[in-house]
Copies of this chain bind each other. A is one copy, B any other.
Amino acid sequence: METANITFLPHNRTISVSKGETLIRAALQAGVHINAPCGGGGVCGKCRVRLEEGAVAEGISERLNEEDVAKGYRLACLSKIEGDVIVRVPVESGIDAAVLNQRMAPRHTAKIQAFDISSLKEKGLFSAPVDKIYLELPSPNAANNTPDVSRLVSGLRHQGGLHKLELTLSTLRRLPAELRQDDFRVTVTVIKPVREDGKNLITNIQSGDHSADSYALAVDIGTTTVYAQLIDLHTGEIKGERGDFNGQISYGEDVISRIMYAESPGGLTTLQSVIIGTINRLIGQILDKSSINRQDIATITIAGNTTMTQLLLAIDPRHIRRAPYVPATALYPSFAAQTIGLDLAEHTMVLLCPQVSSYIGGDIVAGVMGTGIYRDDELTLFLDIGTNAEVVVGNKDWLACAACSAGPAFEGGGIEFGMRASKGAIEDFSLDPVTWEPMLVTIGDAKPRGICGSGLLTMVALMFEMGMIDNTGKFNRDLGTNRIREGQHGVWEYVLARRDATDIDRDIVLSETDIEHLIRAKAAIYSGCMTLLSEVGLGMEQIERIVLAGGFGSYIDLEKAMTLGLLPEVDPDRIHFIGNGSLLGARMSALTNKIRYDVVEVIKKMTNFELSETPSYMSNYTAAMFLPHTDIEKFPRLRDRLEARKRLMASNLI
């Protein structure tokens, strides 16, 4: 992707961004505040900037008169970057450069660590669980009229070196015709055994040579979203990809409400058919866009949390939500995809990622397997934040895990104006330290409709660091801005966007109750990590690497996450982001039989801690119910920044 350098004055900060990006997003990345209370889209006209060198596309609206445009004024939210530019942001007079630079730190997003087939290839692990073998068998005659299966098995022994063969009834049914369609030249699909002494299962037979066409699907079933990938089993390449909301959302936001629905009459089969429907739709969309034949998909590897997986198979999940929280199984049998109504060929087999416990599901196991942390020396903390949060710590010698009851605050749950990351969601934010006016950036540059997880995280961190809220999450009521006010039920709030600037005909606010929800959620995750670490006798300083997974991780501003005390304060270089760990793991499992073999041992090795049963958890949690923590010494960089800011404010009388 082509990039351009954008310099903001008077801050004199330069940042490199992709061409096509808007100026307002570039400013946020650079840590430069521009007043923008309408979320972009040129509605309020407040995000005026002036071009000093270079040019941008668009950026002009009726909010600017001809004279302004001639002088180089543009609306930052509408200006598309086409090349290097120098832009001046009108700022309040009398603020000294030190304050200016103090305002916002540039973004620190985690390094994205790509796990792909090349790493498997390097380690000699790339050997898919599926083989497609082309055979040219001798035609039968009077002297050799052994049964079709015997002929096939003998061919697989001699040409493919395969023994211990078994075949499915559907293959057997199709065998006589397929063998004879192209004079006993056939392609056989074989699912290898997990263990070497197991059986090779012949799942499909096709006349002619189809050995090059070997595909698999990898699916992540999240509580909120479902993603599917179509993978070439020869190259490891992703041939198609689609995501969508989990259709079960209409039956409850989180796993607990889904389980409750499943307990109602007919609920379980409804939820099963709904998720099957979502997956079938994704498969259809992927296949429609590719030239790949549904018949050439040998397996569908699925990872999901324990509840999602049990619902997929219509296994009653009621015991997942009741102490002592017993899931149905750890390992799942393989079975034909059509058994559960998946719209795939008769021969396509479902391979399910195993799970550890009711709250450490196949999604987490997949992440552990996909990243390979179970076979590395490095001591790693793996943290997956989605609708729930789970933490795994360990390396190739041992692994421990725990689930944190974080709740869905990071996905907008429990937040008055919380919403999922969709059009109109405030996803980024900054605050003017003098006027306390907001700078909002929304998804789709549309009028704001609500706040999504990343917006929430950023705004609370910024409000705290800039002194708008204290370490208990309460507003400073003496800042002299009418954006901070007492709300309807006596709860104090900050007005992010006023009614006329929103798309929902109401003021959009962030209240102290919302902030408390966020603090509870981050405290659950932080104390979960710390409790698990202390249970295994380790401290954060011994962790060599933090791997962040989950939809949430993709936009997380590491420094902000540490400011909140969501993440421990570590060198950001030690943090790696892998995106959707569940999907990654499903894909890697689909690609290498080694993972299917290893996972059986890994899930035995993963010691599960029930935090609610761990005495130190409650005290860790209580201590984390502050911003960033009751003990600021655990966050020395933040402590230094807060002290520097205090000194600056005192000297400048801000």
Does A91 sit at the interface, judged by CB under 8 A? Answer: no
Given contacts A197-B197, A313-B169, A330-B150, contact A324 B176 (CB under 8 A): no
Contact (Cβ within 8 A) B150 A324: no
Contact (Cβ within 8 A) A324 B149: no
Contact (Cβ within 8 A) A339 B169: yes
Contact (Cβ within 8 A) B333 A147: no
Q: Write out, one digit per residue, whether chain A residues 103-146 have a CB within 8 A of any chain B CB (1) or not (0).
A: 00000000000000000000000000000000000001110111
Report A337 CB to chain B, min CB distance, Å: 12
Report A264 CB to chain B, min CB distance, Å: 16
Contact (Cβ within 8 A) A176 B145: no
Contact (Cβ within 8 A) B142 A330: no
Contact (Cβ within 8 A) A326 B146: yes
Does A177 sit at the interface, judged by CB under 8 A? Answer: yes
* Least CB separation from A324: chain B residue: B145
Q: Which of B145, B149, B330 contacts A149 (CB 8 A)?
A: B330
Given contacts A176-B319, A324-B141, A324-B142, contact A169 B329 (CB under 8 A): no
Does A98 sit at the interface, judged by CB under 8 A? Answer: no
Does A175 sit at the interface, judged by CB under 8 A? Answer: yes
Contact (Cβ within 8 A) B145 A326: yes
Q: How far apart are the CA atoms of A151 and B328 in the complex, in Å?
A: 10
Contact (Cβ within 8 A) A142 B316: no
Q: Which of B172, B314, B318 contacts A332 (CB 8 A)?
A: B172
Complex contacts, A180 vs chain B, CB 8 Å:
319
Does A331 sit at the interface, judged by CB under 8 A? Answer: yes
Given contacts A142-B323, A324-B140, contact A333 B172 (CB under 8 A): yes
Q: How far apart are the CA atoms of A169 and B326 in the complex, in Å?
A: 18
Complex contacts, A141 vs chain B, CB 8 Å:
324
Contact (Cβ within 8 A) A166 B333: yes
Complex contacts, A325 vs chain B, CB 8 Å:
145
Contact (Cβ within 8 A) B142 A329: no
Contact (Cβ within 8 A) A316 B177: yes
Complex contacts, A146 vs chain B, CB 8 Å:
326, 330
Q: Write out, one digit per residue, whether chain A residues 315-348 have a CB within 8 A of any chain B CB (1) or not (0).
A: 1101100011111111111010001000000000
Contact (Cβ within 8 A) B329 A172: yes
Report A328 CB to chain B, min CB distance, Å: 5
For chain A, give the interface size range: 35 or more
Contact (Cβ within 8 A) A328 B149: yes
Contact (Cβ within 8 A) B328 A172: yes
Complex contacts, A168 vs chain B, CB 8 Å:
333
Does A511 sit at the interface, judged by CB under 8 A? Answer: no
* Least CB separation from A173: chain B residue: B315
* Least CB separation from A175: chain B residue: B328
Q: How far apart are the CA atoms of A197 and B613 in the complex, in Å?
A: 41
Q: Which of B145, B172, B358 contacts A315 (CB 8 A)?
A: B172
Contact (Cβ within 8 A) B314 A173: yes
Q: Write out, one digit per residue, whether chain A residues 158-191 have a CB within 8 A of any chain B CB (1) or not (0).
A: 0000000011110011011100100000000000
* Least CB separation from A327: chain B residue: B147
Q: How far apart are the CA atoms of A505 and B355 in the complex, in Å?
A: 76
Given contacts A142-B323, A145-B325, contact A335 B176 (CB under 8 A): no
Complex contacts, A315 vs chain B, CB 8 Å:
172-173, 175-176
Known contacts A142-B324, A172-B313, A173-B314; 9 additional CB pairs below 8 A are A144-B324, A147-B326, A149-B330, A149-B331, A151-B326, A169-B313, A172-B328, A172-B332, A173-B315
For this complex, 13 residue pairs linking A to B, each with C-beta atoms less than 8 Å apart, are A140-B326, A146-B330, A147-B326, A147-B329, A148-B329, A149-B330, A167-B333, A168-B333, A169-B333, A169-B335, A172-B332, A176-B318, A176-B326
- Of all A-B residue pairs in the complex, the 5 with the closest CB atoms, nearest first, are A149-B329, A145-B324, A147-B327, A140-B326, A147-B330
